[in-house]
Amino acid sequence: MADTTVPPPSSISGPRLGRAVRSALITAVVGAGLFSLMIGVRTEAGPAGGLVFWTRWTELGWMVAASFVAGFVREIVIQRSGEGVLEALMPAAFKRFINVVARLLGPALLAFAVLMPIIFYDQRYILDLGILALTYVMLGWGLNIVVGLAGLLDLGYVAFYAVGAYSYALFSTTFGLSFWLCLPIAGILAAFWGVLLGFPVLRLKGDYLAIVTLAFGEIIRLVIVNWQSLTGGPNGITGIPRPSFFGVPFSAGPEGFAELFGIAFSPTHRIVFLFYVILALALLTNWVTIRLRRLPIGRAWEALREDEIACRSLGINTTTTKLTAFATGAMFGGFAGAFFATRQGFISPESFSFQESALVLAIVVLGGMGSQLGVALAAVTMIGGFELFRGLDQYRMLVFGMAMVAIMVWRPRGLIGSRTPSIYLKTPTQISASLVKEGHG
């Protein structure tokens, strides 16, 4: 029984229990309506080309029961939170503790990231996961410039990721250019596409901008799918050169990295190297963002997010300001794309679907728009969470979607909602999220 777990006098009884049961019943009825045909009847293309179907009453029963429980729990939670039980769980001392932890969290995470290849040297799986997470940290930080700082909603960020990946793949396979040469090219090309897209569309506002960037992302993906002679179409590009240690390949041969440094060959070397490359790239993104925030351009981005009209009245060229935000964000997306291509050795349009854009945007918003630490935490949480559900395979996106809804309902302003001022005279004071705007564009 639920009442044994909570202390009196707020035990669940009488009318409250009744209300909870009523709410549970309603939810169950609604659930029955929703799932009746969808779960209760399963269709499939039959062997003869026709359609066959069979019923699944048991599953339907389970779903309705689950709806009942969900409705019950929800009502209880609402009743509890109304009493401030959740607040009471967090005494002031605990909050202070949280604050201290929060301040130390950034440096601790960084130290952990640097030491990770040493701690988990033998666990390739964890290192791969770390590389993946760092890629998303970098993408999140890149998009954060556009969405979090400048307040421009970009739903097609993955397009720049794709431009970066395909530029590296094409330049390296066609002209044999090295990764370190291609990296800036990929960034510049992505930034160029950012400007190309940004120039016409940046006078659009809000959701219009969102949908146009979404369309742009889809256009890029569809062009990649269909321009078979250049991109290999749906089959993608294979045989992308793997990274070398500044020209020294990670091979077992006499010319290889292991031989050069006089150590035993191990395939892990390359993984560790890749780990540090993406760590460096991500930190570069972070460093540049932090620097930019303290420069006039960064302040203009944030001012733009706060009030575009006031910006214009102060002589700020809002078009170029928006364009630089777009281009800078795109450039980092391009870098990340080039890294992605060299790590995978194979790319196809599948990796650049709208879901990726949504994932990166979710990372930025969950992180708390504009907060670097928040974005990093959100990226690690998301990718880690994704990994936990790897075994569930087809349920993964379902869980991801549910998590997105739940997180937004729970914390609409993200994990770290407050804003740190870019400059101060005496004492830096955090600015509460309720004052910080999120832009119109």
Partner 1 sequence: MEYFLQQFINGIALGSIYGLIALGYTMVYGIIGMINFAHGDIFMIGGFIALIAFLCLVALGVTAVPLALFLVLIIAMLITALYGWVVERVAYRPLRHSFRLAPMLSAIGMAFVLGNFVQIAQGARVKPLPPLIPGGLILIDNGGFVVQVSNVQIIVVLTTLALMVIFSLIVARTRLGRDMRACEQDRTMAALLGVDTDRVISTTFVIGAALAAVAGFMYLIYYGVIDFYIGFVAGIKAFTAAVLGGIGSLPGAMLGGLAIGLIETMWSAYFSVQYRDVAAFSILIVVLIFMPTGLLGRPEIEKV
Partner 2 sequence: MNGGDTILDVVHLSMRFGGIVAVKDLSFSARRGGITALIGPNGAGKTTVFNCITGFYKPTTGMMRLGHAGGREFLLERLFDFRIAKLARVARTFQNIRLFSGMTVLENLLVAQHNPLMSASGYTLLGLVGFPGYLHAERAAIDLARYWLDRIGLIERADDAAGNLPYGDQRRLEIARAMCADPVLLCLDEPAAGLNAQESGALNDFLQFIRGEHKVSILLIEHDMSVVMEISDHVIVLDYGEKIADGSPRAIRDDPKVIAAYLGVADERTAEAIMEADQ
Residue 295 beta carbon to partner 2: minimum distance, rounded to whole angstroms: 4
Piece of the chain touching partner 2 by CB under 8 A; list 46-54, 84-92, 235-243, 415-423:
415-423
d(CA 6, CA 202): 54
Give the Cα-Cα-Cα angle 204, 210, 216 (nearest 5 degrees).
95
| Residue 327 is a binding residue for partner 2 (CB under 8 A) | no
Residue 9: asked if its preceding bond is cis (omega within 30°), the reply is: yes
State the angle between helix axes of 124-144 and 354-367 in degrees (0 to 180), rounded to the nearest 10: 80
User: Which residues of the shown chain bind partner 1 in the complex (CB under 8 A)?
Assistant: 30, 33-34, 36-39, 41-45, 49-51, 53, 147, 153, 200-201, 203-204, 206-208, 210-212, 214-216, 218-219, 222-223, 225-226, 309, 354-355, 358, 361-362, 365, 369, 394-395, 397-398, 400-405, 408-409, 412-413, 438
What residue spans of 202-267 are helical by DSSP H?
A: 206-226, 228-231, 257-261
d(CA 119, CA 361): 31
d(CA 131, CA 243): 14
* Residue 362 near which of partner 2, partner 1, none (CB within 5-8 Å, type-dependent): partner 1
Binder to partner 2 among 183, 303, 338, 365 (CB under 8 A)?
Answer: 303
* Residue 365 near which of partner 1, partner 2, none (CB within 5-8 Å, type-dependent): partner 1
| Residue 302 is a binding residue for partner 2 (CB under 8 A) | yes
For partner 2, what does the binding mask look like between residues 244 and 283, x meaning CB under 8 A? ----------------------------------------
| Residue 77 is a binding residue for partner 2 (CB under 8 A) | no
Residue 369 beta carbon to partner 2: minimum distance, rounded to whole angstroms: 11
Residue 138 beta carbon to partner 2: minimum distance, rounded to whole angstroms: 18
Sign of dihedral through CA atoms 246, 249, 250, 255?
Answer: negative
Instruction: Provide DSSP, 251-277.
Output: -SSTTSHHHHHT----THHHHHHHHHH
**In 220-242, which positions are buried (b, 16+ CB within 10 angstroms) versus exposed (e)?**
bbeebbeeeeebbeeebbeebbb
* Residue 307 near which of partner 1, partner 2, none (CB within 5-8 Å, type-dependent): partner 2
* Residue 296 near which of partner 1, partner 2, none (CB within 5-8 Å, type-dependent): partner 2
Cα-Cα-Cα-Cα torsion 133, 135, 139, 144, nearest 10 degrees, comes to 50
Piece of the chain touching partner 2 by CB under 8 A; list 72-80, 208-216, 232-240, 317-325:
317-325
Residues that bind partner 2 (CB under 8 A): 288, 291-292, 295-297, 299-300, 302-303, 305-307, 309-318, 324, 419, 421-429, 431-432, 435-437
